[in-house]
Amino acid sequence: MCSDCVRSAPATPAPTLPAARSGFPGRLSRRGVLGLGAAAAAGLTVGGSLLVTEVANAAVKPPTIIPTAEWGAKPATTRIDLSEYRPTYLVIHHMATPNNVATTKAAAYQIARDCQSWHLGNGWGDTGQHFSVSRGGYALEGRHGSLNALRGGKNFPIGIHARGGNDRSIGIETQGTFTSELPPAAQWKTLVQLAAYICQQYRIPTSRIIGHRDVNGSSTACPGNTLYAALPRFRQEVAKLLSSDPGPAPEPAPEFVWAVVGLGDRGFRTKVVQHLLRQSGRSVEVDGSFGPKTEAAVKSFQKAAQLDADGVVGKVTWPRLAVTVRNGSTGEAVKGAQVALNARGAGLQIDGSFGPATTAAARSFQQSAKLVVDAVIGPKTWNALTK
Ligand SMILES: [Zn+2]
């Protein structure tokens, strides 16, 4: 069970990063005095979109969440760290367990116990995720302390459910496998209610409800193609519960969910960012390790572009940083594109020259990603290459 998530979670929790890394809520709590109303009045934005429509008028009643003590959880075997800030993402998983199972409360308790045993066996000290929703529509607390923290709305236990995102996200495991079918109605309904309550308590905009596969650094199909494809509708239903306005909430197209790359990240996305920073005239080493120098260069770029200089490359900074390259282009941005194409299976030389080989690799990638096949690496292709 939870096998997708198990494969992509680290053996130990990611270190707790400074609050500033966590975006809006972290920065808010650092200031310590701004309530949400003040933040909204000040026009603070997250990823370019106002929070107001998504959390104003919030009065979502908490769904019934069965606490660890009630379903018979074993005590945690390690210390569970509490963050000093709010989570900024809600990550939806599927357990990759069978769908043809009992939907009773007893069955919900059993799946919670089984999941905890599995995770204890992994050496995670407790259930990895914060909450689970059974196929019968029962919501259960996972990691100890999650429910109390959620009620308080100020912090959360650092979980183990999504490598690269554990320090800034809440995880919900959805019992079942959603590669070709959706959660049954009762489960879906509870999932929407639970997500709405979490978004309300932690001021998480619905655009930040993501699938496990969206987490930077993950290599998983979780939460399954069918549930993943239903996430735009899911976000809308959550937004509707959160708002007294019955109108549809504006939602980003799923293809424009961007990876979040920041301090401490390693890998090809960091290399791409470093090449793009060099393209912009900033001298950083391309070593694939997002250290303080890369962060400083990102801040410098953001300041120059009049963006919020938080040093994190997310959905606002990526489209500005990733310049369009095509046949005949040369330079660092082309090198970045070549690194990204190689991460997607091309075997290109990183020579910064967009010639026939890079053109062919770009076409092939666009075809497989169901994009317009024009070999022009613009915002949509950059997005698909790096998310
Ligand atoms: Zn997962």
In the chain, domain spans: 3-242, 268-386
Q: What are phi and psi of 222, to 5 degrees?
A: -55, 135
The CB-side HSE value for 93 (13 A sphere, CA atoms) comes to 33
Q: How far is the CA of 339 from the centre of ligand 1 (A)?
A: 26
Q: How far is the CA of 110 from the centre of ligand 1 (A)?
A: 20
pLDDT tens, residue by residue, 75-122? 999 999 999 999 999 999 999 999 999 999 999 999 999 999 999 999
Q: How far is the CA of 118 from the centre of ligand 1 (A)?
A: 14
Q: How far is the CA of 218 from the centre of ligand 1 (A)?
A: 9
- 45-54, 74-83, 101-110, 368-377: range with lowest mean pLDDT: 45-54
Q: How far is the CA of 165 from the centre of ligand 1 (A)?
A: 11
- Token output for 74: 């074993």
In this prediction, residue 257 has a pLDDT band, given cuts at 50, 70 and 90, of confident
pLDDT tens, residue by residue, 208-256? 999 999 998 788 999 999 999 999 999 999 999 998 444 444 444 554 6
Q: How far is the CA of 37 from the centre of ligand 1 (A)?
A: 34
User: Between these two residues, 28 and 288, which has the higher pLDDT value?
Assistant: 288
| pLDDT, average across residues 43-61 | 45
Q: Give the CATH architecture of domain 3-242.
A: 3-Layer(aba) Sandwich (3.40)
Cα 27 → chain centroid = 18
Q: How far is the CA of 367 from the centre of ligand 1 (A)?
A: 27
Q: How far is the CA of 122 from the centre of ligand 1 (A)?
A: 15
Q: What are phi and psi of 251, to 5 degrees?
A: -125, 140
Q: How far is the CA of 297 from the centre of ligand 1 (A)?
A: 32
> Span 268-386: which CATH code?
1.10.101.10
Q: How far is the CA of 248 from the centre of ligand 1 (A)?
A: 28
Least Cα distance to 18 among 75, 84, 77, 74 occurs for 84
Q: What pTM was computed for the model? A: 0.55
The number of residues making up the chain comes to 387
Q: How far is the CA of 87 from the centre of ligand 1 (A)?
A: 17
Q: How far is the CA of 3 from the centre of ligand 1 (A)?
A: 8
Q: How far is the CA of 217 from the centre of ligand 1 (A)?
A: 12
pLDDT tens, residue by residue, 339-362? 999 998 999 999 999 999 999 999
pLDDT tens, residue by residue, 186-213? 999 999 999 999 999 999 999 999 999 9
Q: How far is the CA of 222 from the centre of ligand 1 (A)?
A: 5
The CA distance from 329 to 324, in Å, is: 9
Distances from the Cα of 382 to the Cαs of 72, 149, 318, 319, 338, in angstroms? 47, 37, 9, 8, 11
Least Cα distance to 322 among 371, 241, 384, 374 occurs for 384
Is 375 within 8 Å of 362 (Cβ atoms)? Answer: yes
The CA distance from 191 to 229, in Å, is: 15
Q: How far is the CA of 352 from the centre of ligand 1 (A)?
A: 36
Q: How far is the CA of 326 from the centre of ligand 1 (A)?
A: 35
- Token output for 7: 């494969």
Over the range 87-117, which residues count as b (16 or more CB within 10 Å of their CB) and which as e? bbbbbbbbbbbeeeeeeeeebbbbbbbebbe
Q: How far is the CA of 161 from the centre of ligand 1 (A)?
A: 7
Q: How far is the CA of 322 from the centre of ligand 1 (A)?
A: 28
Q: How far is the CA of 311 from the centre of ligand 1 (A)?
A: 27
Q: How far is the CA of 129 from the centre of ligand 1 (A)?
A: 9
Distances from the Cα of 136 to the Cαs of 114, 140, 173, 185, in angstroms? 16, 12, 14, 9
